[in-house]
Structure formats: C-alpha cells, structure tokens
Amino acid sequence: MNVNMSSSSSSSSSSSSSSNRLQNGRAHDPVKFLQATEQRARERQVAYETVRILRKDVIECYRKEGVNHYDKCRDVCEKYYNVVIKKDVGQVHPDWADKAKHDGW
C-alpha cells in the first residue's frame, strides 16, 4: 500500500509538472511569436545576402587586379573575412534571457 501511495503521489506530481511544462512551453502571444519568427528569417536572409555581396566583391577584385590581388584586395578580403567568422554570419539575434540555451539556431 505504501508503494501504491508513493507511485500515485509521484504520478500526480509528474502530471502537474507536465502541465507546468506545457504552460511554459507555449507562446504567450501567438501573433508575436509568428512575427518574431518572420523577423528572424528576414535577418538571416539579410546576413546571407551580405555575405554573397561581399564574396562577389572579392571575386571581382581578384579578377580585376590579377597577380597583384594580394596587395590590392586586402581590405575587401578582410571585410569579407570579418563578416564570415562571426557567429551566424553576423545575423542579428534577439536579447535572450538565457544565452546558453539559444546559442545556435
């Protein structure tokens, strides 16, 4: 009887725990959640396009300068490199409360 009692109390605590998890897992405002998702997608696309444009500038500079590209294209390459090495290619991120939890997308 003691085992049943502990098992029923643990199941009731786990069910209350799961109901808390469901409440905590839901978006408080679904409209804002969708808007935030769309904004993140736009930010990601802007970051990708920025990298694409910078890569195009590097290629154009290499072709234009030929064998002198080591000296002449240094600034263009540094700009491209500084953007590429950033986390998520320089994509703007929201201000998360727990940054470790939302490290990557």
pLDDT tens, residue by residue, 13-61: 444 444 444 456 666 888 888 888 898 889 889 989 999 999 999 999 9
Q: What is the torsional sign of CA 82, 85, 86, 89? A: positive
Residue 102 confidence (pLDDT):
62
pLDDT of residue 79 exceeding 70: yes
Q: Using CA atoms, how far apart are residues 41 and 45, in angstroms rounded to an integer?
A: 6
Tokens 């009887």 locate to: 1
CB 104, CB 88: distance < 8 Å? yes
Q: CB–CB of 53/83 below 8 Å?
A: no
Q: Residue 75 — pLDDT band, cuts 50, 70, 90?
A: very high
